[in-house]
Structure 1
Amino acid sequence: MRIVVHAVGRMKAGPERDLADRYFDRFAKAGPAVGLEWAGVVEVPESRSPNAPERKREEAAKLDRLLADGAALVLLDERGKNIGSEDFTAWLCKWRDKGQRDLVVAIGGPDGHAPDLAPRAALTLSFGALTWPHQLARVMLAEQLYRAASIASGHPYHRA
């Protein structure tokens, strides 16, 4: 299953980008052995619309292009499910085993996701009740993808 991250906003050079890139690189190397292929990050600019609902609609329209060929959608949202790494791995492997070809994990803009995306999501995932900067959410997602590949392969990286 190919996994792509759709992120609203650009991550500037710096330690957060370096760390995210490090974990995405680890995932790219570890994932194929367990049927998880890294397809990269698609960064889209934040909408410049004057109101939040319109910004969300414009950002969702860009996400729709990635979903057009039947990709499953995971939304990162503070109101989503707060699950552990092993459950996240099991969820990914279940979708992989069902034959899902593509998975898009979406990190929304400062206003969040358009409301019409939630019913289309296979999973709405939270990294806890705290609000995280988008840069750190990307780092945490990259690490969890690598951790999922490690768990799925039985690698000792994950020791809970």
Structure 2
Amino acid sequence: MQVSIIAIGRMQRGPEQDLIDEYLRRLPWKSSVIEIDMKKQPPTADERKEREADKLLAALPDGAAVVVLDERGKALSSRAFAKKIDDWMVAGFNSLAFIIGGADGLSPRVREKADLQLAFGTLTWPHMLVRVMVAEQVYRAWSIRSGHPYHRD
């Protein structure tokens, strides 16, 4: 399985980046973080979302199961999330792509592309922390799938 975290904005070195690096280092699957830096932003939120959508969708690996992080998405338990990944693997997906939008949210075009719209609760999270949470949950899903003792019910 190949995992891509595709996000708007650049992360600075610091504790959040250290955590992402740690979880992805533990993960035996090939993984990458693709950061999309948006220079010269359009004046309106809708225009920004559409320009970001073009770049996010262009960064998707071919044939990936697409997970969009959105506060209106579905909240899953860690076991249900691991089962979803398992189902995608059985269905023949060899790549997962997680999309994290910009401050204005995501274009409907991006949400429509999703195989899963996932929420980490109804709270709004800083986008840099969402990256950490995605990396940790992917590692947790791997640990559940493989019987590793990291996850405890």
> What TM-score, normalized by structure 1, do the two folds share?
0.90
Task: Report the equivalent of 2:63.
Answer: 70
SS in structure 2 at match of 1:11: coil
Quote the residue 1:114 is aligned against.
107
Cα drift, residue 71 of structure 1: 2.2
Residue 93 of structure 1: how far off its partner (Å): 0.8
Task: Say whether the 8 Å CA contact 1:151–1:158 is kept in structure 2.
Answer: yes
Unaligned segments of structure 2, at least 5 residues: none
CA distance in 1, matches of 2:100, 2:56: 10
What is the alpha-carbon distance in structure 2 between the residues aligned to residue 38 and residue 128 of structure 1? 27
- Work out the CA distance in 1 between the residues paired with 2:61 and 2:141: 26
Cα RMSD of the aligned pairs, angstroms, is 1.3
Flag structure 1 segments of 5+ consecutive residues without an equivalent.
30-36
**Shift, 1:68, TM fit:** 6.4
**Paired residue total:** 152
Matches within 5 A, 1:54-65: 54-65=47-58
Residue among 104, 108, 127 paired with 1:134? 127
1:155 corresponds to 2:148: yes
Q: Which structure 2 residues correspond to residues 1-160 of structure 1 after superposition, within 5 A?
A: 1-27=1-27, 29=28, 37-46=29-38, 48-67=41-60, 69-160=62-153
How high is the TM-score relative to the length of structure 2?
A: 0.94
In 1, are the aligned partners of 2:2 and 2:30 still within 8 Å (CA)? yes
- Secondary structure at the aligned position of 2:24 is classed as helix
